[in-house]
Amino acid sequence: MSNIIDSTIQSYVKNAELSGAALMVRKGGKVVYHNKWGWTDIADQTPITDASVFRMMSMTKPVTAVGILKLMEKGLLSLDDPITKFLPLFQNMQVSIDKRYEFRPGMNPLSLLPKMLFFRMGNVKTEPATRDITIRDLLSHSSGLAQGIVGLLAMRKDKSIKKSLAQQADVLSQYVLDFQPGTGTGYSPLAGFDMLTRILEVASGMDADAYFRKEIFDPLGMADSFFWPNDTQKQHIVKCYKRKKNRLVDVTGTKDDMYGILACEAGYIAGCGGLFSTLADYDRFAQMLANGGTLDGVTILKPETVELMHTEAPEKHMEPDPGQVWGLGVKIRQDPAKGNLPVTAGTYGWSGAFGTHFFISPKDDLSCVWMTNRTDLGGSGSYISAKIEELVFSEFGG
């Protein structure tokens, strides 16, 4: 057991930077580190256990990507299919050419507030999309759908509650794209992967919840992974916290919690970020990927499909962050030195807005799953996730 990992995370709990957390690290498929810290509920001092359930937020996206890739293997879709094949309303999309809504590096998000007061989608200067959005575009965050200032303002102005993926497809098909499909990148936090989940429903002929259960969760033995908890499962979900004035405030069930951010009613399957899971369950998902698509004799994906998943995917080379590129539902550390990252080239994975994080290093035969639920950690920019990567590669890399 690594004393430095343990002491570092203990200090985060002691300093009220984390309420509770859990970590699993494997090398060559063998557990080399597994530990838990802190509380599911600070007020009750209920300790984190292996049964503790966390909000995955955007760590749902790799699961959605695997669901889509399974349909590709079955011949029900291809990566370069236009999404209009499944969602006809996305024909004749318009693209912003409005200088008022151009993103500039270093832009302060607060500068958007005055724009939001007067924003009207119909007043945005546009040109026709040069081609349809493809499934590849959605999986690799290169679609232009809700990926820039126009998309952000549109989402902020929309106060409606998401009722179904079909209804949300109707809403999003009215959006103006932030750039021509395939020509830009960034991140589509909500729209892109919810539309992939709707495509999954149309292509499979199944409800998304049932599809994920049948094709991924049940075969992998992920019994504690779900989108909407029953009464028993609710008892194991950790409390959600936000740090204010150097202390952690319980924001469970508020607008800062998962359902507040997703703005959906019960039953909506948010493939962008609505999954709940445990450390043990998500570790099984990560191990399946690390093993080339198979775990305990059960094949979820072919090895070549997993390889494709963590291969640079957009039509052209684009770096959302220095030295990093998008695969299919995961971010790849293509040139770690360029981004001053402590990982090896080819390491891939993703994070959740509330601090969850996972990565797989094919070169090191190393995988890591990290769980915590604090709403203001900054997702993939979390300083704690960055520290976990540094400590894990220092201890177990190579």
In this prediction, residues 23-39 reach a mean pLDDT of 98
Question: Is pLDDT of 115 > 70?
Answer: yes
Do domains 3-59+209-396 and 65-204 share one topology? The answer is: yes
Q: Report domain extents, the chain.
A: 3-59+209-396, 65-204
* 130: confidence class by pLDDT, cuts 50, 70, 90: very high
Evaluate if residue 142 carries a pLDDT over 90: yes
Q: What is the arithmetic mean of pLDDT over 180-209?
A: 97
Confidence of residue 117 (pLDDT cuts 50, 70, 90): confident
Per-residue pLDDT of 314-372, as tens digits, reads: 999 999 999 999 999 999 999 999 999 999 999 999 999 999 999 999 999 999 999 99
Looking at residue 109, its pLDDT comes to 63
pLDDT at site 110? 65
Q: Using H for helix, E for strand and C for coil, what is the string for the chain?
A: CCHHHHHHHHHHHHCCCCCEEEEEEEECCEEEEEEEEEEEECCCCEECCCCCEEECHHHHHHHHHHHHHHHHHCCCCCCCCEHHHCCHHHCCCEEECCHHHCCCCCCCHHHHHHHHHHCCHHHCCEEECCCCCEHHHHHCCCCCCCCCHHHHHHHHHCCCCECCHHHHHHHHCCCCECCCCCCCCCCCCCHHHHHHHHHHHHHHCCCHHHHHHHHHHHHHCCCCCECCCCHHHHCCECCCEEEECCEEEECCCCCCCHHHHHCECCCCCCCCCCCEECHHHHHHHHHHHHCCCEECCEECCCHHHHHHHCCCCCCCCCCCECCEEECCCCEEECCCCCCCCCCCCCCEEEECCCCCEEEEECCCCEEEEEECCECCCCHHHCHHHHHHHHHHHHHHCC
pTM of the model: 0.97
Whether 2 shows a pLDDT value over 60: the answer reads yes
For 274-288, the pLDDT digits (tens) are: 999 999 999 999 999
Please state which CATH number belongs to domain 3-59+209-396: 3.40.710.10
Rounded to the nearest integer, the mean pLDDT of the chain is 96
User: What CATH architecture is 65-204?
Assistant: 3-Layer(aba) Sandwich (3.40)
How does pLDDT run across 211-232, given as a tens digit for each residue? Answer: 999 999 999 999 999 999 999 9
Mean pLDDT is lowest, of 43-47, 61-65, 108-112, 377-381, for: 108-112
